[in-house]
Amino acid sequence: MAFPIHRPRRLRRNENIRRLVRETNLSVDDFIYPLFIEDGENIKIEIPSMPGIHRYSLDRIDEELDEVVELGIPAVLLFGIPSHKDAVGSDTWSEEGIIQKAIRHIKKNYPQLYVITDVCFCEYTEHGHCGVLHEHDVNNDLTLENTKKQVVSHAKAGADMVAPSGMMDGVVKAIREALDEAGFSNIPIMSYSAKYASAYYGPFRDAAESAPAFGDRRTYQMDPANRREALREVALDIEEGADIVMVKPALAYLDIISDIRKNFNLPVAAYNVSGEYSMIKAAGKLGWIDEKKVMMETLTSIKRAGADIIITYHAKEAAKILKENC
């Protein structure tokens, strides 16, 4: 029928009707909060390019964890900054490695938190690349062998989930086999299945001290121009045993999130990365945008695109707003 029979504005007249017909609802249950934990004592350092985000030593991390628990955020994703780096990132599988110590601390003192570990090597190697180097490139298969040791050590320390981020071919299969053989068949894998070689990671490299000493990561992370390749990567990870698949970054890759949601039935995670966070913070500080509204709109757009889980540095701020609006 013609106008005026169809008047979509009828369902926008006030907040109550807008709430009733809202298609996408953001919840604190959607969030995973990343934590940067540094080896040492009495460390709380704000990351200059990520206002509000800090690196903590274990003796100070409870300041952050208390708030995370109080806000009802269900899960944290751990990144470590070790005191010792070497060519292969051996701290990643040490029983006294920074992540292993952090897992034990959190599981002992905050058993209600779900602890996920980022499984990679860039923060732990002298060269800043994501594995074992051979002729200035990452050797895929040698890196898989070290990845197996890393995930088993995380599992023994008490991790609830592991999340491989290095984009090595066959990594999910290698991890699944290693965990199963070590008696940890109950631990799920959240794979960074479609991780792009993105300029949006810049602030993270300040946070984790993980910038490559030479070159870049384009030989193992995906080309930002590729869309169909993401479906292939996800299909391979599912075939190898992934329980959750992830897209990283999120905001500039909403089409990829949508494609994966339409084509696969597994839970889909999206990483709202450091550059996306920092742009909102910077524009908000300058008064160019309403920071809180843009933050919530951004997170809603990621969920609307199809993400079931959102890894975001905004988690605490967004949780406060959602709590206020309950």
Q: Per-residue pLDDT tens for 191-239?
A: 999 999 999 998 876 665 655 655 566 787 899 999 999 999 999 999 9
Q: How do beta strands 75-81 and 31-38 pair?
A: parallel
User: Would you call 276 helix, strand, or coil by DSSP?
Assistant: helix
* Angle between helix 98-109 and 140-157 (nearest 10): 30
- Is residue 45, in this structure, part of any structural domain at all? yes
CATH, residue 173: 3.20.20.70
Could you say which of 195, 281, 303, 316 is catalytic?
195
Could you say which of 85, 248, 303, 316 is catalytic?
248
pLDDT at 216: 63
pLDDT in tens, the chain (326 residues): 677 888 899 999 999 999 999 999 999 999 999 999 999 999 999 999 999 999 999 999 999 999 999 999 999 999 999 988 887 788 888 999 999 999 999 999 999 999 999 999 888 887 767 777 777 788 888 889 999 999 999 999 999 999 999 888 999 999 999 999 999 999 999 999 999 999 999 887 666 565 565 556 678 789 999 999 999 999 999 999 999 999 999 999 999 999 999 999 999 999 999 999 999 999 999 999 999 999 999 999 999 999 999 999 999 999 999 999 87
- Is residue 3, in this structure, part of any structural domain at all? no
User: Would you call 28 helix, strand, or coil by DSSP?
Assistant: helix
- Is residue 196, in this structure, part of any structural domain at all? yes
* Total of domains in the chain: 1
- Is residue 169, in this structure, part of any structural domain at all? yes
**Residue 318 to residues 73, 110, 179, 218, 253, Cα–Cα distance (Å):** 10, 21, 34, 33, 21
- Is residue 7, in this structure, part of any structural domain at all? no
Whether omega before 249 lies within 30 degrees of 0, making that bond cis, reads yes
Its domain, for residue 105, covers: 24-324
- Is residue 10, in this structure, part of any structural domain at all? no
pLDDT at 34: 97
248 catalytic residue (yes or no): yes
Residue 269 gets which letter from DSSP? E
- Is residue 4, in this structure, part of any structural domain at all? no
- Is residue 13, in this structure, part of any structural domain at all? no
195 catalytic residue (yes or no): yes
